[in-house]
Amino acid sequence: MRPFFREERAQMQTDFSRMFDLTYPIVAAPMFLVSTSALVKAAAEAGIMGTFPALNYRPIEAFAAAVQDIKKATKAAIGVNIIVQEANRLRDQQIDIALQEGVELIITSLGNPRTVIERAKGTKTRVFCDVVNLQHAEKVRDLGADGLIAVSHGAGGHAGTISPFVLIPRLRQATSLPVLAAGNIVDGRGLAAALALGASGAYIGTRFIASEEAEVDADYKQSIVDYDMEDIVSTHKVDGFSGQLYPHATT
């Protein structure tokens, strides 16, 4: 994985990068069936935060082994995404392992994060929650979340519906928590725009599908490079949630 910036350029620090001792305020966002330990380790080497969905490793023993393997390879902070709705039957074991292994960041999605936030209190693990609107953000702030991921319109995977130009400044103003900008960011221009809107960092998924370390086939990676903005389709027909996809991409 190549860093976004040449090594000699100055570090770019925010409350988020300082919280996790990162060189750049960027997260390689968790992607189901795409981000695994290889991508997390490469992100750590590049000075950004690597993350992966806990469900990418099953059974639960494989998840524990993956976290231990990454922790052995790097001292950098890493993140794990846990789906907190009850449909995720491995949820409680995933939380146990993330806390036991000292994972620095748990990212919650799809459900109420109360249990994770309560269990992480007093540990070194911080909890950031995916949110798509102000109501979600205020709820998780009141539960004690350490930060927000503003999933805006255009984000890969399960997208929000609100423009980042509105969502990011509004969440920052209303909650004063660190906000990571998720959706449509592919380079330094996008990062600069996110920071200008008040975000504390960029949470980048789709671009990293095309990285060497993503564990998907070459055609899928090439489609990310070849396709253009007109090829993206927004639909809820895949799993009932609103999302974006490249209809011809092979997975």
Ligand X SMILES: Cc1cc2nc3c(=O)[nH]c(=O)nc-3n(C[C@H](O)[C@H](O)[C@H](O)COP(=O)(O)O)c2cc1C
Footprint of ligand X (CB under 6 A): 29-32, 34, 53, 81, 107, 109, 130, 151, 155-157, 182-185, 203-206
Shortest Cβ distance from residue 209 to ligand X (Å)? 6
Residue 76 vs 107, nearer CB to ligand X = 107
**Distance from CA of residue 249 to its chain's centroid?**
22
DSSP β-bridge partners for residue 182: 151, 203
Q: Dihedral (C-alpha) 130, 44, 19, 55: value to the nearest 10 degrees?
A: 30
Write the DSSP assignment of 186-250 as a string of letters.
-SHHHHHHHHHTT-SEEEE-GGGGGSTTS-S-HHHHHHHHH--GGG-EEESTTTSS-EEE-TT--
Minimum distance, C-beta of residue 119 to ligand X, in the bound complex (Å) = 19
Please, which residue, 47 or 205, has the CB nearer to ligand X? 205
DSSP 55: G
Nearer Cβ to ligand X (107/117):
107
| Rounded Cα–Cα distance for residues 181 and 187 (Å) | 13
Give the side-chain half-sphere CA count within 13 A for 139.
12
For residue 180, the minimal CB distance to ligand X (Å) is 9
The least CB distance from residue 8 to ligand X, in Å, is 27
Minimum distance from CB of 18 to ligand X (Å)? 22
Question: Which CB, 4 or 203, lies closer to ligand X?
Answer: 203
Which residues are registered as beta bridge partners of 148?
A: 129, 179
Q: What's the min distance (Å) between Cβ of 33 and ligand X?
A: 7
Nearer to ligand X, 5 or 32 (CB): 32
Residue showing the smallest CB distance to ligand X in the complex? 205
Rounded to an integer, what distance in angstroms lies between the CA atom of residue 50 and that of residue 224? 20
Residue for token digits 């503003």?
A: 150
Q: In the complex with ligand X, which residue's Cβ is closer, 42 or 185?
A: 185
Rounded least distance, CB 251 to ligand X, Å: 8
Closer CB to ligand X, 113 or 156, in the complex: 156
Helix (H) or strand (E) holding 103: none
Closest C-alpha among 144, 140, 141, 142 to residue 123: 144
Nearest to 159 by CA among 186, 184, 135, 195: 184
